[in-house]
Amino acid sequence: LDRRPLSKAQISDGDLKPLSKAQISDGDLRTLSKAQISDSDRRPLSKAQISDSDRRPLSKPTVIGQKCTILYLSFSFQLSFAATTPVLADKKKYPNFFRTVPSDNAVNPAVVKFLNFYNWSRVGTLTQDVQRFSEVRNDLTNELEKADIQIADTESFSNDPCVNVKKLKDNDVRIIIGQFDENLASKVFCCAYNLNMYGSKYQWIIPGWYQGNWWEQANSTNCTTRKLLTAMEGYIAVDFEPLSAKQVKGISGRTPKEYEREYSKELQQKGVEPSKYHGFAYDGIWVIAKTLTRVMDLLQHKERQDMYHNFTVDDREVGKLVLDVMNETNFYGVTGQVMFRNGERMGTIKFTQFQEGQEVKVGEYNAIADVLDLINNTMRFQGVEPPKDRTFVRLQRRNINVPLYSILSVITILGMLMAGAFLFFNIKNRNHRLIKMSSPYMNNLIILGGMLSYSSIFLFGLDGALVSDKEFEALCTVRTWILIVGYTTAFGAMFAKTWRVHAIFKNVKMKKKIIKDQKLLIIVGGMLLIDLCILICWQIVDPLKRTVEEYSLEVSLLPLFIFTKTYSDHVDHVGYPPVGFRSNPSCNYIARTKSISSLHKLTGKYSALSTTPVIHHNVIPSSWWHR
């Protein structure tokens, strides 16, 4: 090797100006085979003393200050500029590993920040079943849980994603985070097109490291390119930023644009293909240079403090010092601010959106500052606003139709006025011969029962929109009692009168038979007593409670992501039986009440029908009717 004694350890970086401390280039780093020591004051070291005859193979060169000495260390650390796999983030397995390129997991905090920006709190994931994507998915799940974002569905696939995409649609997942390579991306978007999972209602978020025009090169589906482009329109791609967008001169004295021009010039001269990791490799060289420079300074400082003693340092101490200095790295390079957190690069994540056949940068995320910066007027959604993360169900009370209720109320009032007029007429003319023959007391009961039934109509028209929940339950009980009592009173009196006519005219011997009104009142009272017993038991054992009945979804005339579910208030018993086929107590009471009412009707109908032929063929003597 070409070895030259240096008065000061200066290693140039091309056209960079000389510095007073060791500077190591990013181009021509050479391992020195022999210790080079300045011609000034030299002190022997108790360890790592190098001679031409006794030389061990060195694993890492370390330059120490102006008195340039090489330390042969058994300790080593690794610095990568292209390894993005999340597996290497395990510090138990790889404690000395660093990388200047962000890990694949580094996009997850950026994705969460992006979701929060658009208030998306419900997402689904679609992952290719390989370790690389599974690791990213697991880390994303943790980040989403920390951010209180619901994961509606998690799907993974190996070859055919259509079944999994269909499950996402069935679970109403609108924001889909995908982790798959470009070979399967075409299949995913073909399935999305066939299932109509694109457009203004859906948002796809996928990796951003695919090759250009990947949909043409990796299209192995039966979908045409036009169909794929239709389904892909608007997707968001997430990847690390290869070069900083800020045109600030960094540690090398170049802006990212100036560096890129020099890099492109070198590529043309050498005729090689570009690499997206070249900026991270360049900054990696500067990380090594600054680390070695800082380690030399620290060792020089310790040497000066211990200049009257035998200064010693072993490999373990130097190794720990190197790791500490690496973790403290902080400078501005061509890829942005270079910092490490547990060996992981805190880089910049870019967001691009697929617009009209090409990806357009719409923003970036700074992991160091935890700030998401979206470029104004670049994000284009296919709807008037960003997609919603779910189908919103808007509850709408199904109220009583007010005009219809008003019409029925007016008719009810007219009926009650007519009934009141009949009642007044019946009481006023109760001593009239014809009125007396028609049993005015029974007529009055029929009119009062009808008026009670009429009044229940007003109570049935009051729903939860007009009264409170507690008042609604009370009104429901009251209206049930009023309707049953009114019905039994009216039809009970009619039944009693019909029964009396039947009893008189079915008298074959045509003997005078007297049935007084008091006996008919007892019959009506007995019917009311039976109904009251049933109502009281019903109220004690199983009182009515307010419940809400929901109906089927109805598509709203507003945006497509809104559905309307109507509901109405009604009453029911306290609780349903949890399991089994047990009878409903309320149904039992209702059945008993209706059975008795039906019995009234059937008996009265039988009495009327059986009496009709007798009335047609006989004369009715007035003396047979009693007051």
**pLDDT for 506:** 67
One fold for both 99-241+349-390 and 396-624?
A: no
Mean pLDDT of the chain: 77
Concatenating the DSSP letter of every residue in 230-290 gives: HHHTT-EEEEE-SS-SS----TTS--HHHHHHHHHHHHHHHT----TTHHHHHHHHHHHHH
pTM of the entire predicted model: 0.62
- Tell me the mean pLDDT in the region 565-594: 46
Residues 49 and 560: their CA atoms lie apart, in Å, by 78
- The answer to whether residue 124 scores a pLDDT higher than 90 is yes
Per the listing, tokens 């007798």 go with 614
Measured in whole angstroms, the distance separating CA 153 from the mean position of its chain's CA atoms is 10
Are 573 and 500 within 8 A, CB to CB? no
pLDDT above 50: residue 60: no
Q: Is the pLDDT of residue 576 over 90?
A: no
* Chain segment 405-464, per-residue pLDDT in tens: 889 999 999 999 999 999 999 888 888 888 877 788 888 888 998 899 898 888 888 776
Higher per-residue pLDDT: 206 or 5 = 206
Residue 141 scores a pLDDT above 50 = yes
User: Which CATH architecture group holds 396-624?
Assistant: Up-down Bundle (1.20)
- Most confident by average pLDDT, 67-81, 194-208, 438-452: 194-208
- Distance, in Å, from the CA atom of 493 to the CA atom of 564, rounded to the nearest integer, reads 48
DSSP string covering 389-410: SS-EEEEEE-PPPHHHHHHHHH
pLDDT band (50, 70, 90) for residue 220: confident
Is residue 532's pLDDT more than 70? yes
Band the pLDDT of 64: cuts 50, 70, 90.
Answer: very low
What pLDDT does 23 receive?
37
Write down the pLDDT at residue 605: 60
- At residue 555, the pLDDT reads 55
507 or 194: which carries more pLDDT confidence?
194
Average pLDDT, integer, range 207-219: 84
Q: Which CATH architecture best describes the domain 99-241+349-390?
A: 3-Layer(aba) Sandwich (3.40)
Average pLDDT over residues 78-83: 91
**Greatest mean pLDDT among 283-297, 455-469, 474-488:** 283-297
At residue 577 the predicted structure's pLDDT band, cuts being 50, 70 and 90, is very low
Contact 151, 144 (CB under 8 A): yes
Predicted local confidence at residue 262, as pLDDT:
93
Q: Is the pLDDT of residue 572 over 70?
A: no
In this structure, of 108-117, 223-232, 604-613, the range with the lowest mean pLDDT score is 604-613
Q: Which two tokens stand for residue 150?
A: 């619901």
pLDDT single digits (tens) 143-193 = 999 999 999 999 999 988 999 999 999 999 999 999 999 889 999 999 999
In the chain, what is the greatest distance between 2 CA atoms, to the nearest angstrom?
156
User: Does residue 222 have a pLDDT over 70?
Assistant: yes
Is the model more confident about 623 or about 494? 494
pLDDT band of residue 497 (cuts 50, 70, 90) is confident
Helix residue ranges, H only, 439-582: 440-460, 469-505, 517-541
Per mean pLDDT, which range of 66-70, 203-207, 316-320, 506-510 is the poorest?
66-70
Highest mean pLDDT among 2-11, 313-322, 467-476, 609-618: 313-322
Q: How does pLDDT run across 146-156, given as a tens digit for each residue? A: 999 999 999 99
Q: Where are the domains of the chain?
A: 99-241+349-390, 396-624
Interatomic CA distance for residues 253 and 258, integer angstroms: 9
Q: Which of 16-20, 209-213, 430-434: highest mean pLDDT? A: 209-213
Q: How many CB atoms lie within 10 A of CB 152?
A: 18
